[in-house]
Amino acid sequence: MALKLSDLTDVAAVQAALDEYSQTGQAVFLNRHGFGKASDFLVRNPRTGDWADSKAIAGVALAYQHPGSGGLGADQFSGGEATVVPRLTRLGFEVRRIADIQGHDWQRHEVALIVADYLSMLTCELTGQTYNKSAHRRQLMQSLPGRTAGAVEFKHANISAVMLQLGFPYLKGYQPRANFQRAVLLQEVSEQVARHHLLDEAALAAVQRPVVLAELADFSRVRTDAPRRETTAREAQPAYLRPPIQRDYLAREALNRSLGRAGEEFALRFERWRLIQLGAGQLADQVAHVSVSEGDGLGYDIRSFETDGQQRFIEVKTTSFGERTPFFVSANELLFAQDHATQFRLYRLFDFRAAPRLFELDGPIDRHCLLDASTYRASFAA
């Protein structure tokens, strides 16, 4: 008989789902089980104090309670105040609205403390030094009375969104969340990064150092789902009023030819492996690295195939940072994707230096991403 949300009655099963969430992190957990981010309610892990997406926890908890069932998928039940909230609350777990967790606006001194802590961790990450996020959070909360661990986690995610606006990479594990005190947080982050010379040196070194493509890769574990496109309602403002960027490290990484070439070669190997796995080994031998053999400017980097022989045009974008790191596309690439919508694929490689992963965007790029026209070509003739 098909499972229902009311079948969730085991406290230990919910705790097991929360523990998995804490161990893997939000992004991995949600991708693994096919859920999106919670829009209204989060549930608290009583062991760690961390907050987790309530609907996803309920669906996965059913899989723990009923082994072999697979639990409930995101499209098999409704989340929210009338369903998941009373079910988890009845089992003794704390469930709260996201807005309540975030609480009232942060004071400027609180923002200054958490931004400094974030930048300290980011500097360690970029220089390859180890650090403990939990220890950082516990120490930080001693200076932030009245702020919960969940509120601190949310603010770290807000800072990640600001870092991307300023052209910086963000901390692994803190996926950007764009709803934040825009004026206060943006100003504080901008001021602190301008004074943080070690962070500048670390970020610059991280995006410019060369890459050597690893000889071995388990391609069966490489592919993952693409991030969902998210929009944040806010008042539009002219480009000249946007935050000044001292140095766009993400743009500099995009110019790292060693990284770009290594990413293309990785994608080339992946494509040949993909076709072989699909029983089209004869087509795998014909996959071509056209950006090398024919030159840049075609609108794509690799010419591959579907199993029926139809051509697949692949543009490769590579970053050493997280999956939500913005990437840069040319007008030619945008037009080519539109004109070859059924054949075009953009392969986005991320975490490339540590453990390469990729997701695929098919068809027109603006169907998946928000496009920001940051540069125009000025000429005196058509």
Least confident of 117-131, 218-232, 347-361: 218-232
Percent of the chain with pLDDT over 90: 66
Residue-level pLDDT at 241: 46
Cβ neighbours of residue 307 under 8 Å, at least 6 residues apart? Answer: 275, 278, 279, 280, 283
The answer on pLDDT for 313 being more than 50 is yes
pLDDT band at 64 (very low <50, low <70, confident <90, very high): very high
Residue-level pLDDT at 26: 82
| Position with higher pLDDT, 192 vs 183 | 192
Cβ atoms < 10 Å from Cβ of 76: 14
In which element (H, E) is residue 273 found?
helix 257-277
Question: For 348, which DSSP code?
Answer: E
In which element (H, E) is residue 293 found?
helix 290-293
Residue-level pLDDT at 101: 63
Please, what sign has the CA dihedral across residues 350, 351, 353, 357?
negative
pLDDT, averaged across the chain: 89
Residue-level pLDDT at 40: 87
pTM: 0.67
Question: For 162, which DSSP code?
Answer: H
Radius of gyration of the chain (CA): 23
Residue 36 one-letter amino acid = G
As a whole number, mean pLDDT of residues 148-177 equals 90
Least confident of 82-91, 101-110, 191-200, 313-322: 101-110
What's the rounded Cα separation, in Å, for the pair 113 and 348?
A: 34
CA 279 to chain centroid: 32
Residue-level pLDDT at 259: 95
Residue-level pLDDT at 373: 76
What's the rounded Cα separation, in Å, for the pair 175 and 156?
A: 9
The answer on pLDDT for 376 being more than 80 is no
pLDDT band at 1 (very low <50, low <70, confident <90, very high): low
pLDDT band at 83 (very low <50, low <70, confident <90, very high): very high
As a whole number, mean pLDDT of residues 64-81 equals 94
Residue-level pLDDT at 124: 96
Residue-level pLDDT at 146: 57
The answer on pLDDT for 334 being more than 90 is yes
What's the rounded Cα separation, in Å, for the pair 330 and 315?
A: 11
The answer on pLDDT for 178 being more than 80 is no
Q: If we measure between CA atoms, which residue out of 33, 29, 358 comes closest to residue 218?
A: 358
As a whole number, mean pLDDT of residues 288-299 equals 93
Q: Residues 212-246: pLDDT tens digits?
A: 877 767 899 999 999 987 765 454 554 444 556 66
Percent of the chain with pLDDT over 70: 92
CA distances from 295 to 300, 314, 318 (A): 10, 14, 18
Cβ atoms < 10 Å from Cβ of 89: 13
| Position with higher pLDDT, 237 vs 20 | 20
pLDDT band at 104 (very low <50, low <70, confident <90, very high): low
The answer on pLDDT for 356 being more than 90 is yes
As a whole number, mean pLDDT of residues 21-42 equals 89
Q: Residues 252-266: pLDDT tens digits?
A: 999 999 999 999 999
Which residues are registered as beta bridge partners of 42? 53, 96
Between the two ends of the chain, the Cα-to-Cα distance in Å is 68
Residue-level pLDDT at 240: 44
